[in-house]
Amino acid sequence: MFDIIIVDTGGYSFGEVERYAVYLSAYRRGRLGRKKSDEDKLLSLTAGLLTGLEISRRTGIPQNKLTYRHGSFGKPYLIGAELQFSVSHTPGAVCAAFSDGGEVGADIERKDRRVTRRLYDRVLSDSEKPLVKSGEDFVRLWVQKEAFLKRLGTGIAGSLQGADTTLLRDTAVFECGEYLVGASGKGVGSAEIRRITLKELLSEYDELSLTV
């Protein structure tokens, strides 16, 4: 099983959904409190709500009982279940990948993200440079690299040039409207992708509150 869920956050401000922060873990609330901009807070809150809901649903562990440990570079791991997950966000959207088949990594970026030529030499391997004819081409490679490095647990602290997309196994890129999603992990070729709105995600929490 390899699932990717994308949540569109457009049309919402953090103030409109701040009350849902009560559903976050203490760790997530702490991270939320360190965010400065309204957009960053909205994305952080959405990421926490999405992962909490889906992990609980997939493992049967109540959200308030979910516990995590973190790797050397901050990658979270669920305690008490084999489910692996990875979360990423970019202005306007949050994505999360879930797998019960081993380590997983995910990254999302807008197709029209502005990139500078200075990044090319720092990020691209010699075999990748001929493949890049536009900014979108660069972003397509970037999300695959970051997904792979997040799967390893290093994130971009690892070598971006060393993560050569012409050589990577079990790593793919998906077009999702205005976004490109990179994913890495066993079974990624048959990944199921679902795209929902923040309103739909919040409605699930509203239903939960009615049953408590």
Question: Quick check: is 153 in a domain?
Answer: no
Q: Cα(197)–Cα(185) distance, rounded to whole angstroms?
A: 25
Encoded tokens for 72: 């050397």
Taking each helix axis as running N to C, give the angle between helix 38-59 and helix 198-211, from 0 to 180 degrees, rounded to the nearest 10.
60
Question: Quick check: is 75 in a domain?
Answer: yes
Per residue in 96-142, pLDDT (tens digit) is 999 999 999 999 999 999 998 888 888 999 999 999 999 999 999 99
Q: Running DSSP on this structure, what letter comes out for residue 160? A: T
pLDDT at position 210 is: 57
Per residue in 2-61, pLDDT (tens digit) is 999 999 999 999 999 999 999 998 888 999 999 999 999 999 999 999 999 999 999 999
Taking each helix axis as running N to C, give the angle between helix 26-33 and helix 38-59, from 0 to 180 degrees, rounded to the nearest 10.
170
3-class secondary structure, 91 = coil
Range of 202's domain? Answer: 2-110+172-211
High-pLDDT (> 70) share of the chain, %: 97
Question: Quick check: is 164 in a domain?
Answer: no
Per residue in 173-204, pLDDT (tens digit) is 999 999 999 999 999 999 999 999 999 999 99
pLDDT at position 157 is: 66
Question: Quick check: is 185 in a domain?
Answer: yes
Question: Quick check: is 94 in a domain?
Answer: yes
Which CATH number is 68's domain given? 3.90.470.20
Total domain count for the chain?
A: 1
Question: Quick check: is 68 in a domain?
Answer: yes
Round to the nearest angstrom and report the end-to-end CA distance of the chain: 30
Prediction pTM value? 0.94
Question: Quick check: is 145 in a domain?
Answer: no
Question: Quick check: is 130 in a domain?
Answer: no
